[in-house]
Structure 1
Amino acid sequence: MNPGLSFPTGLGLEQLRGATLAEVDAAAALQHRIDRKYLVPLGHARRLLARLADSHHVLDLGGRRTTSYLSTYFDTPELGAWRAHIQKRRRRWKVRTRLYAEDGLCRVEVKTKDGRGATVKHALTVPATAYGSLTDHAARFVDRVLDRAGVPVTAGELTAAAEVRYVRAALADLGHGSRVTLDGALTCHRDDRTAALDPEHVLVETKGGTRPAPADRLLLGMGARPLSLSKYVVGQSLLTPGLPDNDVRHLARTHFTTGPDAAPLPLPFERIRVA
């Protein structure tokens, strides 16, 4: 990689036309979608954006083209969500609170899979101070969504299991309704340990229909291949002692390093520690 490149400055986001959040949501909200993930060198990500500049807009929030994300994931004591993913069960699920740090916006999100393998996401906006916890209102929301998806888990069984932080740039094809996100500076936290993605790599996700989007075809042309890679599952696989060996851990060990937890990020409220 060119040593002068870094995320996100090395992506070349300035070459894309900007779009407001309302424009992106109107064209490509995609709460029901097919997700494809690719782990690529930063230089490949830059070339991808250059090829998408004619068709895609980048989310621009008053001149800011990236957002810092913090996500606390909830799981059962037996790590039911983690195991469902590792075992490739049909009814996979995730529950998290997500904080958009610069905007002070927080949501409770529940992701499930439908009968065709597509991701279905439901979200509830909550106060920023609720980040890292499930209030009574949020718990009722989680219970409704999981029950409708046929997932035999309730919010009362869940506790905070891990935290994931990263910086995201979001692109949208406003004409065709597909999206591309690029995540860097990715770290996973549990107790006092951290797993960090190699800074020379970017996690690219395409979000669209059953047919591959233009971004997928471009990535395939660069030699990238879709991966089953969940940020939460990676974090648990690397940071939780005693878990069975698995393919995710083998992949993650080639791109992630582990070590003591970094200093807490400055937030407008006390940071939630994940135990």
Structure 2
Amino acid sequence: MTAAASLAAGLGLSALRGATLAEVDAAAALQHRTDRKYLVPLDRARLLVDRLADSHHVLDLAGRRTTSYLSTYFDTERLGAWRAHVQRRRRRWKVRTRLYAEDGLCRVEVKTKDGRDATVKHALRAPAEGYGRLDASAAEFVDEVLRRAGIPVTAAALSPAAEIRYVRAALADLDHGTRVTLDGGLTCRHGDRGAGLDPGHVLVETKGGVRPAPADRLLLRLGARPVSLSKYVIGRSLLTPGLPDNDVRRLARAHFSTGGSPAPLFERTPAA
């Protein structure tokens, strides 16, 4: 069974009502949002999905209810983005290229924080062959977004710093404009080193307004508590000896394992 099929079966996604990408984007695109993250055992994640079934739809792409993601993160030589997050600076940022593997779609994304600590995401469509690099148009886009956010970094100073892979299911409350994503099969890679999330756990993210959504309240009742976790930050922390990140390492030690390069999560299937 593939990682995608395993996640779909483990979460019981077939029991949910489906929604198209257009419907989800119209109701809950959420480029400006508050994110809350939880590391949840798979059995409790399935309970969450079951209890959200009356209010949420699952993103359904022509019968496919998960998507395989590849994300290459870019950072400065001195890991300025990583350090800004670990040190909880007000002006935090991330730059990445993201490939939606089954569909052969690629985007350049820049995430920043506003004055209220909410995440603001900016995205630019890119050709699939542009995944993993910043060409001239991508660099111009990155420079403009970071400049407007008051972050003194340019694309010329950035290089690939880590690749994160995972399989995602996305749920949306179409009436209230909030979303829940569930990520499984998460692996991190840099050079010849790799790390992975315990396969018995799922990373759940709620994406909505400042106030906790119904999904957050359900998670609390299921015994989950929010964690401060960035896929890029924890990946680099695990794969780079000597980084000053004790809080991240304590979290990682309980849920992640390190080793050689992880096996591919899927075979890339370009869109027809």
Give the aligned partner of residue 85 of structure 2. Answer: 85
Q: For residues 68-116 of structure 1, give each alpha carbon's deviation from its aligned partner in whole angstroms, at most 9, with x where no partner exists.
A: 0000000000000000000000000000000000000000000000000
Query: Displacement, 1:245?
Result: 3.4
2:96 aligned partner, one-letter code: R
* Corresponding pairs, count: 265
Give the aligned partner of residue 64 of structure 2. Answer: 64
- Secondary structure of 1:132's match? coil
1:100 aligns to 2:100 (yes or no): yes
Query: Displacement, 1:218?
Result: 0.1
Inter-partner Cα distance in structure 2 for 1:36 and 1:214: 12
Give the TM-score of the pair, scaled to structure 2.
0.95
> Taking every aligned residue pair, what percent have the same amino acid on both sides?
77
Give the aligned partner of residue 38 of structure 1. Answer: 38
Give the aligned partner of residue 273 of structure 1. Answer: none
Report 1:173-184 matches (<5 A).
Answer: 173-184=173-184
1:146, 1:152 within 8 Å by CA — same for their partners in 2? Answer: yes
2:195, 2:262 within 8 Å by CA — same for their partners in 1? Answer: no
Inter-partner Cα distance in structure 1 for 2:6 and 2:250: 26
Give the aligned partner of residue 9 of structure 2. Answer: 9
Q: For residues 31-74 of structure 1, give each alpha carbon's deviation from its aligned partner in whole angstroms, at most 9, with x where no partner exists.
A: 00000000000001000011000000000000000000000000
Inter-partner Cα distance in structure 1 for 2:262 and 2:27: 38
Query: Displacement, 1:246?
Result: 2.1
Query: Displacement, 1:268?
Result: 6.6
Q: For residues 166-199 of structure 1, give each alpha carbon's deviation from its aligned partner in whole angstroms, at most 9, with x where no partner exists.
A: 0000000000000000000000001111110000
Give the aligned partner of residue 243 of structure 2. Answer: 243
Query: Displacement, 1:263?
Result: 4.1
| Structure 2: tracts of 5 or more residues without a match | none
Query: Displacement, 1:9?
Result: 1.2
Inter-partner Cα distance in structure 2 for 1:252 and 1:162: 16
2:161, 2:190 within 8 Å by CA — same for their partners in 1? Answer: yes
Inter-partner Cα distance in structure 1 for 2:132 and 2:167: 18
Q: For residues 199-257 of structure 1, give each alpha carbon's deviation from its aligned partner in whole angstroms, at most 9, with x where no partner exists.
A: 00000000000110000000011111111100000100000122113201110111000
- Point out the more displaced range, 234-243 or 169-178: 234-243
Inter-partner Cα distance in structure 2 for 1:16 and 1:267: 26
Inter-partner Cα distance in structure 2 for 1:28 and 1:216: 16
Give the TM-score of the pair, scaled to structure 1.
0.94
Inter-partner Cα distance in structure 2 for 1:128 and 1:245: 34
| Structure 1: tracts of 5 or more residues without a match | 270-275
1:150 aligned partner, one-letter code: G
2:149 aligned partner, one-letter code: A
- Point out the more displaced range, 238-247 or 121-130: 238-247
Give the aligned partner of residue 112 of structure 1. Answer: 112
- Point out the more displaced range, 63-72 or 237-246: 237-246
Would you identify which runs of 4 or more consecutive aligned residues in structure 1 move more than 2 Å?
Answer: 5-8, 262-269
1:6, 1:200 within 8 Å by CA — same for their partners in 2? Answer: no
Report 1:47-196 matches (<5 A).
Answer: 47-196=47-196
Give the aligned partner of residue 233 of structure 1. Answer: 233
1:257 aligned partner, one-letter code: S
Distance 1:142 1:233, change over 3 A: same
1:51 aligned partner, one-letter code: R
Inter-partner Cα distance in structure 1 for 2:267 and 2:209: 38
Please tell me the root mean square deviation across aligned C-alpha atoms, in Å.
1.3
- Point out the more displaced range, 245-254 or 87-96: 245-254
Distance 1:6 1:105, change over 3 A: closer
